[in-house]
Amino acid sequence: MNFNLNDCLNRTWYLWILSFLLISIPCRSQSRQDPLAGKILDEVGKKFKKMAGFSAEFTHDSENNSGETIRSQKGKIYVSGNKYRLITGNTTLVCDGKTVWSADSKTREVTISDYEPEPDDITPERIYTFYQKGFKYLFIGEVKAKACIWQTIDLEPDNIKKEVSKIRLFVDKNSRSIMKWILFERGSNDREVFEILKFTPVTKVDANLFAYSKSQFPGFKVVDLR
């Protein structure tokens, strides 16, 4: 299984965040959806659309089909509209809405590419509306977690050829925030688990977070793929 958060943000959901898959799939009829799950997801989307931006600290664990963790890492992301800065492992991704800079501290290399998401790709600004196309969603129940109640929703892609067979979301019942999500790989049932450790909405966005400068990565080799 080879998911990563960059895929989650820039390509299709196989993530999400940030690995979230959705490619040109027509809408399902509303009658085939769970009304309660749809209501919860709509409320989550409305809340986040009102934000100027946010930052989040998270964990990303890769698990086998027995639930054993085989890889774990922490990360932080800053988002405002279609702009973001993602820091995870050795990699820092900076996107100003037009260009993406990917800096690897291990290889000391910065790769530059155009930010050209497909119409149905899951990007930061679409993260809370992606479920409206191409997914069947179902309310599973409630669980107690961290002194809160999390509502569990399963999303299954209409396209059974997608690598992800199911996305399980955990939504805080009170704050209407997505606290955790699990991506299940089709066939193997291996999974990628993302959990929010700290979430901070912002009313004033620091534009410098989404601007790249050489001084941030001194001595790095630059590879321009544009």
pLDDT digits (tens, 9 = 90+) for 65-114: 888 899 898 999 898 888 889 898 889 999 998 999 999 999 999 999 99
Beta-ladder partners of 114 = 99
Distances (CA, A) of 193 to 18, 39, 85, 161, 210: 11, 24, 20, 21, 26
Position 48 scores a pLDDT of 79
pLDDT class of 159 with cuts at 50, 70, 90: confident
Is the pTM above the cut of 0.85? no
Rounded Cα–Cα distance for residues 20 and 7 (Å): 8
pLDDT at 36 over 60: yes
Mean pLDDT over the full length of the chain = 79
Domain ranges of the chain: 5-26+37-214
Position 30 scores a pLDDT of 40
The share of the chain scoring above pLDDT 90, in percent, equals 31
What would the mean pLDDT of 191-208 be, rounded to a whole number? 89
Rounded Cα–Cα distance for residues 40 and 153 (Å): 9
The share of the chain scoring above pLDDT 70, in percent, equals 78
pLDDT at 42 over 80: yes
Quick one: CATH architecture of 5-26+37-214?
Clam (2.50)
Q: What share of the chain is helix, strand, coil (3-state, %, to 5)?
A: 15, 45, 40
Let me know: does 94 contact 210? Beta carbons within 8 Å.
yes
Each residue's pLDDT tens digit, 102-144: 999 999 999 999 987 665 555 555 566 666 677 788 999 999 9
